[in-house]
Structure 1
């Protein structure tokens, strides 16, 4: 009888331990992932957080809104934010270069938003007069991106040594004698009234009720030359292989989510579902 009792107690113990392990795993799967974002991407992730496909993936998402991109990257590096979704590959690379003790890593690609050149005063690119003042973003990654855009538009020529973090000192030729005013990225739409033209990133342009495909004098074309401008999801470097975080990348590219993004942002967030090697090569 004692042997039977011991056998029964052992069976119960195994069941409890096994059930506890399953419960722990289930709890881990359901553990909330905090996603930090800014601008229009906050709305996207709020939509993703409440989407049925997120629940089906066994994920729970909490979204935190930021207004300062450096603060958001700092919070991610410190683990206060699990994953962030707002920045281009070039911006991430530049952040890591400037913050060697706060390294981040990309989890996957999301989209490309064409950067555009806008003007309240002129309706065509060729109408920009010699000596016109053009406002460009003042952070290194977007300064270089803006200059590359102006070169693609045929307005300036850049030096062969130009890189993804170069500034105006890398302009080789400025035949129209344009004057460049470096401004905070977020002020682009407001600066339109006080300058001849402004280069604005699409997230900020959307906030200013501008559609890059319709309102810009010129905008980036989606091709190999703009791959540094593809947006990525990022996390602290130590978490780069976190399986739960990597699930967020697949979640973003779910058909239901992409249908919502396309409708909400009028096609200006062009989906890019590429391996990270596409950016690194």
Structure 2
């Protein structure tokens, strides 16, 4: 009986400690107010957060960067608590990730638009693409849908009315040029551009391959795009002071000037839009 009492006491103590570590809603403790761990994808997002880190340091906030090479891991790491925030994704991608993984990640501040471009090694205008041309699309649902949305905006195709921002190739209802859509890994499309007549390429992959969206694209996404990127956090940390401090550093005049000078219109600061 004495042994049972000791075990019961330990269990009760563990319960008390657990209750002290969480509020009534079940959310975790607030983040450290002096340091924040930020996940980014390599390329422009990494460079811009480095600039934001310099601004944050002037205000007493240390920013630790963790750099990823794909689009899924930064959200996985955030949801599992390995990151405090991440900065790399647009809202349609975030919504799809939450739906697919049962997570509660939320946007807390606009960052940039990486305008997706259409490129070709053969044709100099989107209007020059011939009937029956092959067209490369990213094979992930959100960026594939984004590419189709851009083509519809330009009048090349027509999509199902209720699938404008979430379309797949199966939602194309009018394709006057009979384009043959080929779904490819987004990161590999720059290397495969010579194998198709034209292709849609994400800005970070274009820049990584030495391709300038502003100078080399034959069609560029408009600035009224729904695919603006965001700083994202776990729902329980949405109002943490350190998150607000990081957002303010990112959305500073210094960072805006860095983006405009460094990327010359290939990446667009979007928090004032």
- Report the TM-score range of the alignment, normalised by the length of the smaller protein: 0.7 to 0.9
Gapped runs of 5+ residues in structure 2? 1-30
Q: Is the 1:162–1:170 Cα contact (8 Å) retained in structure 2?
A: yes
Q: CA deviation at 1:28?
A: 4.7
* Paired position in structure 1 for 2:129: 128
**2:54 is the counterpart of 1:44:** no
* Paired position in structure 2 for 1:203: 204
* Paired position in structure 1 for 2:248: 250
Q: Is the 1:94–1:165 Cα contact (8 Å) retained in structure 2?
A: no
CA–CA distance in 2 between the matches of 1:82 and 1:69?
17
CA–CA distance in 2 between the matches of 1:47 and 1:240?
22
SS at match of 1:123: coil
Q: Is the 2:39–2:65 Cα contact (8 Å) retained in structure 1?
A: yes
Bigger fraction of residues in helix: 1
* Paired position in structure 2 for 1:7: none
CA–CA distance in 2 between the matches of 1:29 and 1:163?
41
Q: Is the 2:39–2:87 Cα contact (8 Å) retained in structure 1?
A: yes
State the 4+ residue runs in structure 1 displaced beyond 4 angstroms. Answer: none
SS at match of 1:181: strand
Alignment of 1:132-151 (within 5 A): 132-151=133-152
* Paired position in structure 1 for 2:83: 81
Q: Is the 2:115–2:203 Cα contact (8 Å) retained in structure 1?
A: yes
Per-residue displacement from partner, 1:78-101 (whole Å, max 9, x unpaired)?
A: 11011100001111111111111x
**2:32 is the counterpart of 1:34:** no
* Larger-gyration structure (1/2): 1
SS at match of 2:118: strand
Q: Is the 1:86–1:233 Cα contact (8 Å) retained in structure 2?
A: yes
2:65 corresponds to which of 63, 78, 96:
63
Q: CA deviation at 1:149?
A: 0.5
* Paired position in structure 2 for 1:153: 154
Question: What is the TM-score with the length of structure 2 in the denominator?
Answer: 0.84
2:227 corresponds to which of 208, 211, 229:
229
Q: Is the 1:109–1:272 Cα contact (8 Å) retained in structure 2?
A: yes
**In angstroms, what is the RMSD of aligned CA positions?**
1.6
* Paired position in structure 2 for 1:241: 239
* Paired position in structure 2 for 1:213: 214
